[in-house]
Amino acid sequence: MEGIHDMEACGNMNRNSSIDDSDFGHHSSPLEVPRDSIQQESINGYVSDQIEINKQASPLMMANNGLNIIGFLKGKNILITGATGFLAKVLVEKILRVQPDVGKLFLLIKAKDAKHVRERLQNEIVQKSLFEYLQQLLGPGYQDFINRKLIPVVGDLSKDNLGMDIDTLSEIQEKVEIIVNSAASTTFDERYDYAINLNTKGAQRILEFGHSCAHLQLLIHVSTAFVNGQRRGRVMEKPFQIGCSITNEAMNAQTDQLVPDIDMNHELQLIRGKKKEIIEEIESASTCAPTSLELLKLKKRLHQEMKDLGMQRAKIFGWQDTYVFTKAMGEMVVDSTRGQVPVVIIRPSVVESSFKDPFPGWMEGNRMMDPVLILYGKGHLPGFLVDPESVLDVVPVDMVANAMLAAMAKHAKEPGIEVYQVASSVVNPLVFFELARMSKEHFTANPFMDNLGKPLPIPKLELFKDMESFLDAVKISTDSIKEPMSCLTDSKDAIRRHKQLTQKVKEQVAYLASLYQPYTFYRGRYDFYFRTSFGIFLLRCK
């Protein structure tokens, strides 16, 4: 993360602010980082340089506010759900690298059988470039080490008993000491029934499983800083009380509640009722068994209505979308049913590429703002729908993993619940105006290429503060995209395909803008305990 970004530059921004080349300083763009597509020799070069460094005493070995993370991890058996996810695999790599004498890491992976789960372990975790550093450190013994330490487990957090067979279930119940629940549905507008089953009831299932573990010392539940919904100002690290809503919290000066308390059972009844209603409508409209076409329409309608229901319920109670609403309910369930199980809730903000561990810039997939930035870089966007003074709260993935390790060592065997937000909006805010500057600078220096190998021109970048102006500009921008030469020389089909493409771009932009608007105009800042208590640990650990 670079230094504190200059917010004064945004103070006098107009309603629709334009950024031209004169606005740009010489910044190091966060987009210019290695990803999985990086040249292999670049990774190997960095790894080779780090092997000697790794032989020296790691800050993890040092007491940090009384912590000895490496010593704590020795011999520990850990269950990790969502193991193929971005954050979880960084955590796995970190543990294996800093403490090879860790016990076993049981990785819960959704798979149909033992063969498939081993394939997913290899293809989606072990063979990723993320593990190149560890592989070179261990040399020929790497695969044997992996086979001994990583135990892939067929399972599913959305099912009873976590989807495990009885023998595996019993083994883990007897051996596991730490549980890390990193599984989640992170789609903002996910189907409500899917999201509540994984993000809310899944949290309940993992805690119920924790109660059955003979030697459990700690459950780490990975949530998100955005469970704070539409809270404004400095947001503190406090657990949710069961049933409480952001809407009622914001209206606390009034004697009457604006909406009822959240009742998860009522939410489940709403889902069942909506499904029954749709099915009964189809049955009443058909005199015989539904045709395959009718069944397809039913599935599409059910899918959309479940998505709509989740967004509606989230906004009623004061959350931006289905994802953060169901994650907030998951936190409520964890707190209300934890009993004597020690619990730490980790709330990262937008988790992005690694800062330095195991090498700078490791990333997987497109994260939150990436699709929008790519559309701009390809010339499809005239700018961004944002409040220039709002902050995009991002945090490197390795710092989140470090915070999780520190929390393990600090809170194991301590009954109670702790909440830690891992975020940058207080300590190192990235305002959208600055992000726009760096984006334009990056794509000017590193443009996308067209089919002929020529740089794609990028538009003059504007920042729009209302949806109508933004979509009007998008329409003008996409309508002005030149038809390729094939459209001028070939058939009408080529022209039709080009028009379909531009229409698809408009629809995609409108969809993303609507989905992201609550975040690009967000006015909350997340307090961050680790910034003072474990700041050196987060920034320095190798």
To the query of whether residue 128 is one of the catalytic residues in this protein, the response is no
Query: Which of 323, 376, 516, 526 does the annotation list as catalytic?
Result: 323
Instruction: Classify residue 429 by its DSSP letter.
Output: -
Q: Which residues lie closer than 8 Å to 437 by C-beta, 6 or more apart?
A: 19, 23, 24, 25, 27
Helix (H, G, I), strand (E, B) or coil at 199: helix
Other C-beta atoms closer than 10 Å to the C-beta of 251 total: 15
Place of tokens 């490791």: 362
Place of tokens 């990803």: 35
User: Strand runs (DSSP E) across 376-457, as ranges?
Assistant: 383-385, 394-396, 417-422
Other C-beta atoms closer than 10 Å to the C-beta of 212 total: 13
Instruction: Classify residue 59 by its DSSP letter.
Output: G
**76-108: b or e for each residue (b if 16 or more CB lie within 10 Å)?**
bbbbbbbbbbbbbbbbbbbbbbbbeebbbbbbb
Q: Give the C-alpha separation, 364 to 12, whole Å.
A: 37
To the query of whether residue 327 is one of the catalytic residues in this protein, the response is yes
Q: Give the C-alpha separation, 441 to 458, whole Å.
A: 10
Helix (H) or strand (E) segment spanning residue 270: helix 264-285
CA 490 to chain centre: 44
Query: Which of 201, 307, 327, 440 does the annotation list as catalytic?
Result: 327
Burial of 141 (0-12, 13-18, 19+ CB in 10 A): exposed
CA distances from residue 384 to 17, 197, 372 in whole angstroms, order as listed: 10, 34, 8
Q: What is the DSSP string of 121-179?
A: HIIIIITSGGGHHHHHHHGGGHHHHHHHHEEEEE--TTSGGGG--HHHHHHHHHH--EE
Helix (H) or strand (E) segment spanning residue 218: strand 218-222
Q: Give the C-alpha separation, 324 to 246, whole Å.
A: 12
Is the Cα torsion angle 54, 59, 62, 66 positive or negative in sign?
A: negative
Place of tokens 């031209």: 20
- Residues 329, 111, 160: CA angle, nearest 5 degrees: 45
Strand 78-81 and strand 105-109: pairing? Answer: parallel
One-letter amino acid at 183 equals: A
Helix (H) or strand (E) segment spanning residue 346: strand 343-348
Q: Give the C-alpha separation, 326 to 271, whole Å.
A: 13
Q: List, by residue number, the catalytic residues.
A: 323, 327
